[in-house]
Amino acid sequence: MNNHSDVDVRSSGIESPDFRSFDFRSFPMGPSLREYLGIKSEYRGDLVAKVNEESAVRFGQALIGHAADHPVRDAATLVNLLEELVTMDMPGAALAMHEAHPDIFPTSDFRAQFHLGNAAMLAGSLVIAEHAFTEAQKLVPAETAPYVNMAQILIHDRRFDEALHWIDAGLAVDANHCGLWEILAWVLQQQEIPDHAKSLEKMARERNSWAGLSLAADLVAPEEPERKLTFLEDIYNEGNPSEEFLVEYTAVLGQCGLYDRIAPVIWRAKAAIAGKPFSWKLQLHLVQSQIATEQLGEARESLNALLKIEGVPASVIDTVVPALLAEIEESTSLSANQSKPVTMVGAKNELN
């Protein structure tokens, strides 16, 4: 992200005529901001391809100037505005809006504290961010995002012991949070703990975490996917695997060249969810495994099914799908007899 300075937004420049002449209708923004600014027609912001730094600063100045004359009246609207401003990569404007409305900021609302924390962290106001994320965690202890953000803030300040406390608490909520395991591995390395990868593996076994074991295997023996497969096989055999686990598991099967084992795993997962939305990542692995095992007709059908799944990223549709289709066409025309190696998409490459 290219974070826009909160100093620029909150400077005395807001008294300049810039904000009075700013064309809000030509700036991209979400529905809450449009409603707050009274833009009900002639909105052209969705046609703007890119916003430069100068325009972003002027927008922030204009917004704060508008708020001086048109204060936000209710807490829900304020929280929505904070969220949209953070999404727009304007954390300074979000902080300024928060500071302009101290009486209505809902301190006991998780979303409010979380978006305030995000704005403060992105703007470099880490004291405010730390307080906000701490409050957010108290309000909804089962939400993992505050643990991740607090660990990052504490690491920035090199408060590693405190960071480890937050990481441990977050993993108690979600033992397979890939992001927390990656942060933990980095902290252990920074603390120069001997055999930190082995220490990570021990922690992962204590939590029975496939995500931790998978990362530990990458660190201990990155060129030996069979080691990771051994870890994941035990967890798979325990039953009730999650979608995220299956993405990693089938990826490792592909890395080990065991393409014929991928389809049964995926068909079993499809049967288990019985008509519910299916993972596009698992469907992609199915296509890749069918190409590798020369089941080209089935691969074509699976590829068509992939395109019907909601949530497939545009990058996959625009780049990966045409490449797979070309591979199917080439293999069909050449009647290839040997399995072709494919690159499987792993969980940690696509999630978080």
- Given the structure tokens 């066409």, which residue do they identify? 329
Q: Is the pLDDT of residue 177 over 60?
A: yes
pLDDT of residue 142: 97
User: Which string of DSSP letters, residue by residue, matches 111-130?
Assistant: HHHHHHHHHHHHHT-HHHHH
Closest CA to 302 of 284, 275, 316: 284
Which whole number is the average pLDDT over 3-9? 43
Q: What is the mean predicted confidence (pLDDT) over 327-341? A: 72
Residues 216-222: contacts with CB under 8 Å, at least 24 apart: 219/185
Mean pLDDT value of segment 190-205: 88
Mean pLDDT of the chain: 87
Distances (CA, A) of 149 to 82, 146, 188, 330: 17, 5, 18, 47
Torsion of Cα atoms, 174 then 176 then 179 then 182, to 10°: 130
Instruction: Taking residues 35-49, report their average pLDDT.
Output: 85
Domain 142-223, what architecture? Answer: Alpha Horseshoe (1.25)
Q: What is the pLDDT of residue 221?
A: 85
253 sits in which H/E element: helix 243-255
pLDDT band at 197 (very low <50, low <70, confident <90, very high): confident
pLDDT level of residue 94 (50, 70, 90 thresholds): very high
At 344, the pLDDT band (50, 70, 90 cuts) reads low
* Region of poorest pLDDT, from 43-52, 83-92, 216-225, 334-343: 334-343
Number of Cβ within 10 Å of residue 16's Cβ equals: 13
User: What is the pLDDT, as a whole number, of residue 86?
Assistant: 95
Same fold, 1-140 and 142-223: yes
Q: What is the pTM of this model?
A: 0.81
Average pLDDT, integer, range 261-286: 91
- Mean pLDDT along residues 28-35: 92
Tell me: pLDDT of 45 over 80: yes
Residue ranges per domain, the chain? 1-140, 142-223, 231-352
- pLDDT at residue 204 in the model: 94
pLDDT above 90: residue 51: no
- Give the pLDDT band (50/70/90) at residue 342: low
pLDDT, position 2: 42
pLDDT at residue 1, as a whole number:
40
The pLDDT value recorded for residue 335 is: 61
The answer to whether 216 and 204 have CB atoms below 8 angstroms apart is: yes
> Quick one: which of 323, 298, 321 has its CA closest to 309?
321
User: Please, how many CA atoms are within 13 Å of residue 1, restricted to the half-sphere of its CB?
Assistant: 15
Looking at CATH, the fold of the domain delimited by 1-140 is given as 1.25.40
pLDDT of residue 234: 87
User: pLDDT > 90: what percent of the chain?
Assistant: 67
pLDDT band at 337 (very low <50, low <70, confident <90, very high): low
